[in-house]
C-alpha cells in the first residue's frame, strides 16, 4: 500500500549560458593576436600610436567577455538554485510520506544535515561543472588550431602535455567521489548522533554517561577529521598533478620560442623563422591552453561533492514504509502531535517563517474544510484486520471492531498489545497487511486517506513541543482563526491560568519550561484548536500524570470529545471507566464492557 515513488527531477543544463561561458574563453584568441600584432608593430618602428586601436579593441573584447561570463554564470546559478529547491522539496515530501513507525527512515540529524548542508554542494557543481567542461573542450582545440600553422613543435608540446591532465584527473576523480561520499555519510552520521545525544542530555547526565558519550563523540570527530583530510589530500593531489604538467608544458614552449627567437633553433616553424609577434602570440596562448583544464580540475572536487550531495538527497527521497494517501493531505490534515518525522514535517510549519507564507495556503485549506458537508461524528469499522510489523509476528490476525458514531472507546491491554499500532493503522499512518478499515462508511485507502484524515485529530504518546511560541505550538501553522481560537483551546485544555502557557510565551526545544502534565494539555489544545476533527485518536493521555492532573486532562479530553467519536489507548482504569466502552486488545475479542 505504499505510495508510488516520485522520480527526482533531472537537471536540464541551460545550454546557451554554458556555451556562452565556453565561447567567452575564446575571446583571448583575438586579444592575444592584437597584442602580439601591436608589439610587433612597435618593434618595427610604427610608434605607440599604432597600438592605440588594438588596445581599445582588446579592452572592448575584455568587457564583452566579462559581461558574457557574468550573464552565463547568473543564468546557470538561477537554474541550479531552482533545481536544488525542487530536489529538496521532493526529499522533504518523501520524508513526510514516510510512516512515523518506519524504522528505516533517515535519522533527524542526518536528514537535516543532508537537506541543509550537504545539498548546498549541488549548486557549485551544477553552476561550474558544465561551463568548465565546455571551456575545456572548446578553448584548447581553438588554441591548438591557432598555434599549429605557426609552429608545429609548440602545438605538439601542448598536445602531448594536455591529455596527461584529464587522465590523471580521472584517476584521482574516481577516488575523490568515493571519499566525498564517505565524508558526507560520516558528517550526516555525526550530526544525527549529536542531535540525538543533545536531546537525551538530561538522561545521560542522570545516569553519569556524559563522559562516555563525550569520548564517543570525540572518536566520531576524529574519524570525520580523517575523512576530511582524505578528501583534501585528493584535492591537493589533483591540483599538484595539474600544475606540474601545465607548468612543464608552458616552460617547454617558452624555451622553444626563446631559442627560436635567438636563432639557435630553426626547426618546427614549417621551414620559416618565427617573428617576435608570432613568438609572443604563441607564448600568450600557451598558459591559456591549460587554463580551462585547470578550471576543470578545480571544479572536479565540486563534482565529487555535488554528486555525493545529490546521492544523499536521492536516498532521502527513496521509498520506505509509507503513509496511506497523499502526502500533502496527510501533512496538512492530521492535527498530529507526534514526535516523529511526520511531527517534524508538520513542525517545520511552526513559527514566523511559515506564518508569513501561509496566507494562500490558509485560504485554500479553509475553503476545503468549509466545503465539507456538515455531518455527524463517524463510525469506525475494522474488519478482519491483518497486520505485522516488519520481521515480527502478526499483531492483528483477523481483528474486527465496530465503534458507533460519537462513541467513546478505551483501548486497554498489556504493554505491547498493539493499542498504539491500532490507532496508527486507523489514522492511515501505516498500511495494513489485510482486512478493511472504514471511517464514516468510507474505506481507508490511497484515494480517500487524505480526506478522511481531515476529520481526524491525533494525540501521540510523546507530544513534541517545538522551540516556538505557545500560540505557534498550538496552531502548528494550520489555518486557525488566530488568537481567539488559541485562547479558547488553552482554556479548554485547562491551561488558561498557567503563566507559562500564554499564547505569546516562547517555549524551549522539547518543551522545557512546561511540566509533563502541561505539555500533555498543550497537546490537547492542539486538538481543540481544530474543531473540524470529529474522530479523535488519543494515545495514553494520562500516562505519568498524578491523579489530580490526570483527572483534569480527562475532563478536558471528554469536553473536547463531546459529540465526536473517540478512541483512547490507555492503561488508566479511571479514564477508561469514564468512557462508553472498553476493549481489551490483549484478548483481541469483541467489547468487554459497556457503560453507555
Ligand X SMILES: Nc1ncnc2c1ncn2[C@@H]1O[C@H](COP(=O)(O)OP(=O)(O)OP(=O)(O)O)[C@@H](O)[C@H]1O
By CB under 6 A, name the binding residues for ligand X: 101, 103, 389, 392, 395, 413, 415-421, 569
Q: Residue 309 class from Cβ within 10 Å (0-12 exposed, 13-18 middle, 19+ buried)? A: buried
Q: 103 vs 544, which CB is nearer to ligand X? A: 103
Least CB distance to ligand X at residue 426 (A): 12
Q: Is 374 buried (19+), middle (13-18) or exposed (0-12) by CB count in 10 A?
A: exposed
Q: Which is nearer to ligand X, 392 or 548 (CB)?
A: 392
Instruction: Please state the closest distance from residue 323 (CB atom) to ligand X, in A.
Output: 13
Instruction: Give whichever of 310 and 395 is closer to ligand X, judged by the CB atom.
Output: 395
- Residue 225, all three cell numbers: 577529521
SS3 499: helix
Minimum distance from residue 420 beta carbon to ligand X (Å): 3
Closest CB 198 distance from ligand X, rounded Å:
23
Q: How far is the CB of 185 from ligand X (least distance, A)?
A: 24
Cell numbers that stand for 192 in this block:
544525527
Set of cell numbers at residue 151: 609552429
Which residue's CB is nearer to ligand X, number 147 or number 334?
A: 334
Q: How far is the CB of 391 from ligand X (least distance, A)?
A: 8
**What is the spatial order of strands in the sheet that 565-569 belongs to?**
456-459, 535-539, 565-569, 408-412, 581-584, 593-594
> Of the two residues 104 and 208, which places its CB atom closer to ligand X in the complex?
104
Query: What are 567's strand-pairing partners?
Result: 409, 537
Inter-CA distances, 74 with 68, 71, 84, 138, Å: 10, 5, 15, 21
**Residue 88 or residue 98: which is nearer to ligand X going by CB?**
98
Q: In the block, which residue shows the cell 469506525?
A: 380
* Distance in Å, CB of 586 to ligand X, minimum: 9
Q: If 0-12 CB within 10 Å is exposed, 13-18 middle and 19+ buried, where does residue 447 land?
A: exposed
How many CB atoms sit inside 10 A of residue 395's CB?
A: 20
Nearer to ligand X, 76 or 403 (CB): 403
- Minimum Å gap between C-beta 102 and ligand X is 7
Distance CA 95, CA 316 (A): 7
Minimum distance from CB of 233 to ligand X (Å)?
42
Q: Where are the beta strands (DSSP E) in 355-502?
A: 380-388, 394-403, 408-412, 434-439, 442-443, 456-459
Which lies closer to ligand X via its Cβ, residue 355 or residue 389? 389
Shortest reach from residue 320's CB to ligand X, in Å: 11
Nearest to 409 by CA among 432, 379, 434: 379
Q: What residue has cell string 529538496? A: 88
The least CB distance from residue 416 to ligand X, in Å, is 4
Could you give the CA distance from residue 261 to residue 274 in angstroms, rounded to a whole number? 7
Of 307 and 539, CB closest to ligand X:
539
Residue with cell 485560504: 363
Q: Work out the burial of residue 357: count CB atoms within 10 Å of its CB; fewer than 13 is exposed, 13-18 middle, 19 or more buried.
A: exposed
Residue 335 contacts by C-beta under 8 Å, 6 or more apart in sequence? 456, 457, 458, 476, 478, 526, 527, 529, 530, 533
Question: Which residues make Cβ contacts (< 8 Å) with residue 347, sequence separation at least 6?
Answer: 464, 466, 476
Q: How far is the CB of 414 from ligand X (least distance, A)?
A: 7
Work out the number of other CB atoms within 10 angstroms of the CB of residue 569: 25
Which residue number, 72 or 413, has a Cβ lying nearer to ligand X? 413
Complex with ligand X: residue 126 or 409, whichever CB lies closer? 409
* Contacts of residue 124, Cβ cutoff 8 Å, sequence gap at least 6: 299, 302, 305, 306
In angstroms, the CA 70 to CA 67 distance is 5
Minimum CB–partner distance for residue 319 and ligand X (Å):
17
Between CA 160 and CA 141 the distance in angstroms is 13
User: Which cell is 145 given?
Assistant: 588550431
Instruction: Residue count of the chain, please give it.
Output: 596
Q: Angle at which helices 28-43 and 52-97 pack, to 10 degrees? A: 160
Helix, strand, coil percentages (3-state) for the chain, rounded to 5, are 60, 10, 30
- In whole angstroms, the minimum distance from the beta carbon of 576 to ligand X comes to 13
Least separation in angstroms between CB 516 and ligand X: 16
User: Which one, 397 or 488, has the nearer CB to ligand X?
Assistant: 397
Report d(CA 16, CA 76) in Å as an integer. Answer: 10
Amino acid at each position: 500500500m505504499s505510495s508510488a515513488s516520485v522520480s527526482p527531477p533531472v537537471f536540464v543544463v541551460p545550454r546557451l549560458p554554458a556555451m556562452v561561458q565556453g565561447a567567452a574563453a575564446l575571446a583571448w584568441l583575438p586579444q592575444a593576436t592584437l597584442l602580439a600584432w601591436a608589439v610587433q608593430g612597435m618593434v618595427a618602428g610604427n610608434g605607440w600610436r599604432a597600438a592605440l586601436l588594438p588596445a581599445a579593441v582588446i579592452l572592448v573584447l575584455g568587457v564583452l567577455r566579462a559581461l558574457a561570463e557574468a550573464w552565463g554564470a547568473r543564468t546557470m546559478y538561477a537554474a541550479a538554485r531552482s533545481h536544488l529547491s525542487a530536489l529538496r522539496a521532493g526529499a522533504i515530501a518523501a520524508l513526510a510520506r514516510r510512516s512515523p513507525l518506519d524504522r528505516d527512515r533517515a535519522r533527524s540529524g542526518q536528514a537535516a544535515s543532508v537537506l541543509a548542508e550537504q545539498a548546498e554542494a549541488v549548486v557549485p557543481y551544477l553552476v561550474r561543472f558544465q561551463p568548465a567542461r565546455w571551456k575545456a573542450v572548446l578553448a584548447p582545440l581553438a588554441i591548438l588550431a591557432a598555434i599549429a600553422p605557426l609552429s608545429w613543435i609548440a602545438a605538439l608540446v601542448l598536445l602531448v602535455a594536455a591529455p596527461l591532465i584529464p587522465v590523471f584527473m580521472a584517476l584521482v576523480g574516481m577516488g575523490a567521489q568515493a571519499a566525498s561520499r564517505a565524508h558526507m555519510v560520516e558528517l550526516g552520521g555525526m550530526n544525527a548522533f549529536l542531535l540525538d545525544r543533545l536531546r537525551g542530555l538530561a538522561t545521560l547526565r542522570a545516569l553519569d554517561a556524559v563522559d562516555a558519550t563525550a569520548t564517543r563523540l570525540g572518536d566520531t570527530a576524529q574519524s570525520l577529521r580523517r575523512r576530511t583530510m582524505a578528501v583534501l589530500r585528493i584535492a591537493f593531489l589533483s591540483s599538484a598533478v595539474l600544475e606540474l604538467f601545465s607548468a612543464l608544458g608552458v616552460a617547454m614552449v617558452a624555451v622553444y620560442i626563446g631559442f627560436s627567437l635567438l636563432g639557435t633553433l630553426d626547426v618546427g616553424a614549417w621551414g620559416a623563422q618565427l617573428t617576435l609577434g608570432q613568438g609572443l602570440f604563441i607564448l600568450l596562448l600557451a598558459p591559456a591552453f591549460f587554463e580551462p583544464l585547470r578550471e576543470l580540475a578545480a571544479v572536479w572536487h565540486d563534482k565529487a561533492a555535488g554528486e555525493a550531495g545529490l546521492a544523499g538527497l536521492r536516498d532521502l527521497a527513496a521509498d520506505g514504509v509509507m503513509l496511506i494517501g497523499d502526502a500533502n493531505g496527510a501533512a496538512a490534515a492530521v492535527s498530529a502531535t507526534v514526535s516523529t518525522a511526520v511531527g517534524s514535517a508538520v513542525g517545520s510549519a511552526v513559527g514566523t517563517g511559515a506564518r508569513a507564507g501561509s496566507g494562500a495556503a490558509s485560504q485554500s485549506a479553509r475553503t476545503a474544510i468549509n466545503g465539507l458537508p456538515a455531518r455527524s461524528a463517524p463510525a469506525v469499522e475494522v474488519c478482519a484486520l491483518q497486520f505485522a510489523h516488519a520481521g515480527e509476528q502478526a499483531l492483528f490476525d483477523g481483528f474486527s471492531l465496530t465503534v458507533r458514531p460519537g462513541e467513546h472507546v478505551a483501548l486497554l491491554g498489556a504493554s505491547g498489545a498493539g493499542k498504539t499500532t491500532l490507532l496508527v493503522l486507523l489514522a492511515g499512518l501505516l498500511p495494513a497487511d489485510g482486512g478493511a478499515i472504514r471511517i464514516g462508511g468510507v474505506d481507508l485507502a490511497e484515494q480517500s486517506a487524505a480526506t478522511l484524515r481531515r476529520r481526524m485529530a491525533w494525540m501521540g504518546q510523546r507530544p513534541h513541543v517545538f522551540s516556538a511560541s505557545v500560540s505557534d505550538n498550538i496552531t502548528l501553522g494550520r489555518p486557525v482563526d488566530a488568537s481567539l481560537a488559541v485562547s479558547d483551546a488553552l482554556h479548554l485544555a485547562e491551561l488558561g491560568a498557567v503563566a507559562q502557557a500564554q499564547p505569546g510565551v516562547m517555549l524551549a526545544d522539547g518543551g522545557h519550561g512546561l511540566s509533563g502534565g502541561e505539555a500533555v494539555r498543550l497537546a490537547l489544545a492542539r486538538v481543540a484548536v481544530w474543531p473540524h476533527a470529529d474522530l479523535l485518536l488519543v494515545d495514553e493521555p494520562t500516562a505519568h500524570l498524578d491523579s489530580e492532573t490526570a483527572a483534569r486532562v480527562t475532563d478536558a479530553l471528554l469536553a473536547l470529545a463531546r459529540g465526536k467519536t473517540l478512541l483512547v489507548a490507555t492503561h488508566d482504569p479511571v479514564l477508561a471507566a469514564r468512557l462508553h466502552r472498553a476493549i481489551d486488545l490483549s484478548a483481541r475479542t469483541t467489547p468487554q464492557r459497556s457503560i453507555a
